[in-house]
Structure 1
Amino acid sequence: MTIVYIKQKFPPPPFDVEVEQIKYYRDLYEGNHENIFPRAQELAKETQVTKFIRKPRQHYLRRNQQAVEKAAMHHYVVVNFASAVAELPADLINRAIGNISADTESDNKLLDFVQDVNRISKIKQKIWSAVVQHQVDGGVAYRIRRDAKGTWFEWKPADLYFEHEDELGADVSWIEYKGDDKFLRVERQRLEENQLSIQQLVFKMDGETVNQELDISEYLKQYGLYVPDNQILSGINELMCGYVPNDDTLLIPRGRSGLRNIDSIQEEINWTITRDSIVFEKHGKPKLAIPRALWDSVANRNSAYYGERFVRNADLEVVSYDEKNGAVPMYITWDAKVEESFKHVERLIDYMLAISKTSAQAVGINTENGGRSAISILYEWIQSVIKAEAIKEKFDAAIKEAVRKCIMLENALGSTNYPIMEPVVEWQDMLPKADSERDTEEGEKYEKGVQSLETTVRNLHPDWSEEAILAEVEKIKEEQATDSFSPTYIQPPKTSIGSGDEE
């Protein structure tokens, strides 16, 4: 039930179709539209930058290229809203992710271990790129690792992660180049009889085809590489890897790209703007009009000097004019009527944002001047925030699952006995707030008893270290105790006992 690579093209079926789509959407995101759109390709062929363009993927070029308009020596204009659609959820989630710690207050060793996993994995630093890849590719994978740095996990692109058909295993596969030779490396994980086996494989490739399997030890020795030995982990019934799909359905469980359904609209936006640019280039430059008599005078003079009738711009720097008729040179400017074209582009942009569930205000369209409260901004951004919240829930579950698997792997290989539990991932608001507005909200939450003092201090000072936050909490508690009627800090006044007549 494992994947067969030998004598097959890489990536193996049935993942080859999906990987081809992933490459398509990556070109769309990166703005390499000459690789995927036929009109961009035709225009690129006629420009002097054609030699710098990578080989187009003919699979995506439409068949009716005879109808493509041609305009020589003009640059194809790319106004790539597709990149904004993919990056906006990543921006919101990157801002929202907060502290990650073990779900315990007494187990200091587990707290330190989870903190090390967080530090080595660089969860906060890598979350933006992981979400962007998740949106573009339609999913993102992760893999648990244990090496000299410690136990941690890393994000992997979707086109490197292949599940086995029986759902009891998965391959993390990638290409390695050694000089002119090309190799396929595979880390295969399989669940068998209440144990997990992790196997390292290497194959020699011939072009895009996997040729033969090689001995991994000889491969490592030849190129001086280090790879963990094959391992069998008893008592583990989970894979040390996983996959986070985007907008998955029952028919497409590996997820779908967040850029789907907007590629044709993106092409039409680019082409409309490019067409207007071509028109402006041809007709937008002012043209100098001179009287016929003046042209004949200058042309006859050049004919006498050079043997040919022509007029140069330099010939008209100093000219005479007809005093009797008042004929003087003048510039003719083109009064272009392109309002409808601009409105067409605006409609297309609105369609693209609606289909991709992206708020226009979030990408800088239809914004208003003046300061606004966070609540008003939230309602303007609500569509993008709702979309980002759904993506955040997937990554919240993936981060918790990955850290929990790190604990399992450490217990299996590190002779530890940590309780296997998910960490606590704290999330902040996705939209920024003014300091005064944020302080008021956090203070009200604490006063009403719905939020702890430590969480309040952490939300008010998200850039502080854990030591600084705990020190601030202790300082606040001491001041509260000093201002209270606690007998520990405030002693009652001294009194004398007995009759007042006694000496």
Structure 2
Amino acid sequence: MICLAEEKWETWPPEGHEKRLENYARYRLLFFGRHDEVYSRVQAWLDREMDKTIVYIVANFAGLISKICADLLFGEQIRVVVGEEDSQEQQAVDKIISDNNLHTVNYEMALSASWRGDAVYKARFGKYRDWSEGEQAIIEAVPANIFFPHLNGDNVQEMTGATLAWVKEDGDRRYLRKEIHLPGIIRNELWLLDGSRIRRQVPLSTLPEYEGLPEEQETGYPGLLVEHVPNWRLDDMFWGISDYVDLESMFDELNNRVSKISRILDKHSDPKLIVPPGLMRYDEKLRRWYIEKEDLQVVEVDQEQAGDLPKYLVWDAQLEAAFKQIDKLLELLMMMSEVSPAAFGLDKAGVAESGRALKFRLIRTLAKINRKKLYFDQGLKNILYAAQVLDVTHGRGGYEPKIPRIEWADGLPVDQMEQAEVEQIRLASGNTSLESSVRRLDGLDGKALQEELDRIRGGRQGQAPSAPRVSLPPAVGQGGGS
């Protein structure tokens, strides 16, 4: 069930969202490597073991997948363009990005979107922190577990509004704080909770921190100030899909196999001693078998088996099949997660000879990242435009808000030699300008870019060779003829 419009809730969490919130909680445990709290088979296995020192080993492939995706998506800063470098619009957008540390916010959202399947941006105008001097346009992340959309009944992917809701505690009382976003309006509410039941609405002033907060605010923006970004999804669903959705059983089996191998090796790391018959004696009083060094673990055999005893009993664990299974599981995990072995440093082909070669090895991983970019690109454009409108309406004004263009990096290490060769070819063929080439190579903008261009052009003029002296032949019929 999904909220199709703003509706009155009777319980917290609201009906229809329990499964989604449970998935968020489970995927968060997987991300942090707390797999023993997720898999019931592991819990039963650990409870059966008499030796409580046995360790359950977690190969946290889940967290690694999310980090690689976030690194490739936002590990390098994006470039947001709305106009010329020195234009008022561009300077305003650059300030919004800088003031909100948006590059870090983007990275954190990409990390969470990977395991949750959803990310939510929110724009507002106010103080960044309580102690901030002035107000500004703010872009911030909203945890998807407090986000509840109102959807158009005729279009499952269209939001008509959204409710942000979270629990506040004051002594032994619990309240539900609701921030209801509608086009152009935000409504603030506070409700009394009794366990999971929502009892009644109470004044915002019930909690001192909400003293003076208006029940209704006009935003000055005609749309919604919240933007949902799915990790990826299908055309018949609103919520995004986690990167872990089809990998949980493989996480479980990989951990299980590594843990079992460790247990086997520990169990047989202290070999037993085999002795010939007659060496062990029985004490009638103590009713026990013993040898002079009672702390040895021994096994007595028949005379026919004595041979060259005493010797240690060594067990052949036959672990080759187990390690082959681990290799196969890793291969399946990388195939199903669309993450190339090269991204994990497991590429058997060795170090890539060039950036181009590395891209070919990461082709499926880069396709996965490009899929995420489709959603983040539109979400960032919408939320940055909303922030500009808030800045113009409530802040400095003086410029026209524009939907930005976002230039993405691929997140891969830069092959400087290869990049320089490409730019040289493009310059020689006239397919690019010197300004664009230097911007791509050195990452410069604005005044720094212009200064670098002046130095390059000045150096070229200073080093230009003098024109060769050429003697022209005399014109026909003029002097020197005989």
The TM-score, its normalising length taken from structure 1, stands at 0.78
Match of 1:185 in 2: 177
**Secondary structure, counterpart of 2:239 in structure 1:** coil
- Are positions 1:352 and 2:346 aligned together? no
Query: Pick from 172, 187, 211: which aligns with 1:199?
Result: 187
Query: Whole-Å Cα distance in 2 between the matches of residues 225 and 467 of structure 1?
Result: 47
Output one character per residue of 1:133-192: Cα deviation in whole Å (capped at 9) or x when no partner. 11111110100021234212112222222111333211122233334433322221112x
Match of 2:479 in 1: none
Contact 1:43 1:74 in 2 (8 A): no
- Are positions 1:78 and 2:58 aligned together? yes
Query: Pick from 376, 384, 391: which aligns with 1:395?
Result: 376
Alignment of 1:486-497 (within 5 A): none
Query: Whole-Å Cα distance in 2 between the matches of residues 15 and 350 of structure 1?
Result: 35
- Are positions 1:8 and 2:14 aligned together? no
Query: Whole-Å Cα distance in 2 between the matches of residues 184 and 315 of structure 1?
Result: 64
Q: CA deviation at 1:387?
A: 0.7
Alignment of 1:25-424 (within 5 A): 25-46=27-48, 73-105=53-85, 107=87, 109-149=88-128, 150-166=136-152, 167-191=159-183, 196-219=184-207, 222-223=208-209, 227=213, 230-234=216-220, 236-296=221-281, 309-311=289-291, 329-370=310-351, 372-414=353-395, 416-424=397-405
Query: Whole-Å Cα distance in 1 between the matches of residues 48 and 197 of structure 2?
Result: 34
Match for 1:184: what amino acid? L
Match for 1:367: what amino acid? K
Match for 1:204: what amino acid? L
Q: CA deviation at 1:248?
A: 1.2
Structure 1's 457 and 253: CA in aligned 2 closer, same or farther, altered over 3 A?
same
Contact 1:175 1:185 in 2 (8 A): yes
Query: Whole-Å Cα distance in 2 between the matches of residues 445 and 209 of structure 1?
Result: 66
Output one character per residue of 1:304-331: Cα deviation in whole Å (capped at 9) or x when no partner. 9x896435867679xxxxxxx9966433
Match of 1:53 in 2: none
Structure 1's 478 and 206: CA in aligned 2 closer, same or farther, altered over 3 A?
farther
Match for 1:244: what amino acid? V
Unmatched 5+ residue regions in structure 1? 48-69, 318-324, 491-503
Number of equivalenced pairs: 442
Query: Whole-Å Cα distance in 2 between the matches of residues 404 and 447 of structure 1?
Result: 38
**Structure showing the higher helix proportion among its residues:** 1
Query: Whole-Å Cα distance in 2 between the matches of residues 334 and 43 of structure 1?
Result: 24
Unmatched 5+ residue regions in structure 2? 129-135, 153-158, 298-305, 468-482
Structure 1's 103 and 335: CA in aligned 2 closer, same or farther, altered over 3 A?
same
**Secondary structure, counterpart of 1:285 in structure 2:** coil
Query: Whole-Å Cα distance in 2 between the matches of residues 8 and 97 of structure 1?
Result: 42
Percent identity at matched positions? 23
Structure 1's 185 and 44: CA in aligned 2 closer, same or farther, altered over 3 A?
farther
Query: Whole-Å Cα distance in 1 between the matches of residues 381 and 53 of structure 2?
Result: 54
Match of 2:21 in 1: 19
Structure 1 stretch 451-460 or stretch 19-28: which is displaced more? 451-460
Q: CA deviation at 1:130?
A: 1.0
Structure 1's 388 and 227: CA in aligned 2 closer, same or farther, altered over 3 A?
farther
**Secondary structure, counterpart of 1:151 in structure 2:** strand
Query: Whole-Å Cα distance in 2 between the matches of residues 279 and 218 of structure 1?
Result: 60
Contact 1:411 1:417 in 2 (8 A): yes
Query: Whole-Å Cα distance in 1 between the matches of residues 126 and 292 of structure 2?
Result: 74
Q: CA deviation at 1:441?
A: 2.5
**Secondary structure, counterpart of 2:236 in structure 1:** coil
Query: Whole-Å Cα distance in 2 between the matches of residues 447 and 206 of structure 1?
Result: 73
Output one character per residue of 1:272-314: Cα deviation in whole Å (capped at 9) or x when no partner. 2222222223234323334444444xx76xx89x896435867
Match for 1:410: what amino acid? D
Structure 1 stretch 375-384 or stretch 70-79: which is displaced more? 70-79
Query: Whole-Å Cα distance in 1 between the matches of residues 384 and 376 of structure 2?
Result: 12
Contact 1:7 1:212 in 2 (8 A): no
Structure 1's 469 and 178: CA in aligned 2 closer, same or farther, altered over 3 A?
farther
